[in-house]
Amino acid sequence: VTKVTTHVLQEMKLKNEKIAMLTAYDYSMARLLDKAGIDVILVGDSASNVMAGHTSTLPITLNEMIYHASSVVRAVKRALVITDLPFGTYQGNSKEALSSSIRIMKESGSDAVKMEGGREILESIDRILSAGIPVMGHLGLTPQSIHKFGTYVVRATEENEARKLVEDAHLLENAGCFGIVLEKIPAKLAAQVAKEIRIPIIGIGAGPDVDGQVLVLHDMLGITQEFSPRFLRRYHNLSEEIQGSVKSYIRDVKTVDFPNEREQY
Ligand code: KIV
Ligand code: NA
């Protein structure tokens, strides 16, 4: 298998071939995604919610992200693996941003890092890129800033915020980022960005006219149940299937149906 690189993603954009991206946080799931042919795996800080049960992405630590990322990297042969820099490990201090990124690259074997924000974190981005580490940007609804937004509603619906988003996208491109995630913004605005910007634009709740899509794995598989924004297409109802299997197992144990004569030594 030939490994997907940031260069491959750039070519896909030029060929108008859409990029399929999903999150993963562990070896077993990452292996299934890679075998199924996913282009990009994001070790998202959404692990804070879906893996650890926190109510935001803020609490997850760099060590925890490295644990998730190393597990994913061990499973993957083909997909590009991008790991989120967690909250508090890159904002406002470009030296810390670089050392956090170096730890992710060295200790997990990820192919790239992703971080939230535009102009505010430009110095950090420059420094990480200077070290030869590929950086993906993330604009729009950036969950690490939820306490600033105060709500998970769609972003950049008013003109000032939309204008800043477009400016930030250009800044990230000019800095040398290899791609940008746009989260929960109007489809029309995302389409404009994907058209103006030459690097791949990956959308989540950003409409169809971008270069690729990303979803949180546990959401699209229907493992999580509480969360159902409009942009989330559920491909399965795994929560019911898993609970069904667990109920069957409980019944079989209680009734001593399991183990049977062929399931013992
Ligand atoms: O952490 C995450 O899962 C993400 C995606 C939603 C883009 O950043
Ligand atoms: Na994230």
Q: Considering only CA atoms, which of 132, 125, 130 is closest in space to residue 169?
A: 125
Q: How many CB atoms lie within 10 A of CB 244?
A: 11
pLDDT single digits (tens) 204-261: 999 999 999 999 999 999 999 888 999 999 999 999 999 999 999 999 999 999 999 9
Contact criterion met (CB below 8 Å) for 183 and 153: no
pLDDT single digits (tens) 103-121: 999 999 999 999 999 999 9
What is the per-residue pLDDT for 167?
98
% of the chain beyond a pLDDT of 90? 98
What is the per-residue pLDDT for 31?
99
What is the per-residue pLDDT for 73?
99
Which residues touch 84 (CB under 8 Å, ≥6 apart)?
Answer: 42, 43, 44, 45, 65, 113, 114, 115
Query: 37: left (phi > 0), else alpha (psi -120 to 50), else beta?
Result: left
What is the average pLDDT across 174-181?
99
What is the average pLDDT across 13-21?
98
Tell me the three state secondary structure of residue 18: coil
pLDDT single digits (tens) 31-67: 999 999 999 999 999 999 999 999 999 999 999 999 9
What is the per-residue pLDDT for 92?
86
Residue 159 confidence (pLDDT) above 90: yes
Question: Could you tell me where the DSSP H helices lie in the chain?
Answer: 6-14, 27-36, 47-50, 62-75, 94-108, 122-130, 146-149, 159-175, 187-196, 217-220, 238-254
Length of the chain: 265
Distance from C-alpha of 142 to C-alpha of 56, rounded to nearest angstrom: 11
Give the ligand with the smallest distance to the CA of 140.
1
What is the per-residue pLDDT for 227?
85
Q: Which atom of ligand 1 approaches the CA of 143 most closely?
A: 8
pLDDT single digits (tens) 66-110: 999 999 999 999 999 999 999 999 998 999 999 999 999 999 999
Taking the domain 6-234, which CATH number applies?
A: 3.20.20.60
What is the average pLDDT across 170-190?
98
Q: Considering only CA atoms, which of 122, 138, 169, 175 is closest in space to residue 23?
A: 138
CA-proximal residue: ligand 1, atom 2 (nearest)? 44
Please state the pTM of the whole predicted model: 0.98
Q: Which atom of ligand 1 approaches the CA of 183 most closely?
A: 7
Q: Which residues are catalytic?
A: 183
Determine the distance separating the centroid of ligand 2 and the alpha carbon of 46, expressed in angstroms. 5
Residues with CB under 6 A from ligand 1: 23, 42, 44-46, 84, 181, 183, 204, 214, 216
What is the per-residue pLDDT for 90?
98
* Amino acid residing at 243: Q
Helix (H) or strand (E) holding 213: strand 212-215
CA-proximal residue: ligand 1, atom 1 (nearest)? 44
Query: Tokens 């110095």 label which residue?
Result: 123
Contact criterion met (CB below 8 Å) for 49 and 32: no
